[in-house]
Amino acid sequence: MHEEHPFREITLQDLERLDPVTLRTVRSCANCGRCGGACLARIRDLSPARVLRLLQLGRLDEVLTSRFLWSCIGCRRCSRCCPQELDVATAVVRLRRLAARHPRATFPEYLLRYVTR
């Protein structure tokens, strides 16, 4: 019998249970793009603005397999520049909880050393 992909069960509604901050940010983002321009993350396969847009479109998989999530340095420039006063920085960091469970997680090598000890 074909084994079900375990990650298919996770939906945007799960964010509400796991993390109300992220869900509120996704729902309230007006897609102005400012946080994307302000971001200092070194790896930019996505940006905070793009993350939020993809989540609005239900494209959770693309977000959770991005390298950007692990590249966020927590500078909070995204949150400070948001005209909606959304806590974008917290949302980005909390998405890592889901990303770490993804079968195609792009967990950085240097962090892997710590979690496998």
Residues engaged in binding ligand SF4 (CB under 6 A): 29-35, 38-41, 48-49, 52, 72-78, 81-84, 86, 88-89, 92
Cβ proximity to ligand SF4: between 29 and 60 the closer is: 29
Output the DSSP codes for 7-54.
Answer: GGG--HHHHHHH-HHHHHHHHH-----HHHHH---S--SS-HHHHHHH
Shortest approach of ligand SF4 to residue 67 CB, angstroms? Answer: 13
- For ligand SF4, the closer CB: 11 or 84: 84
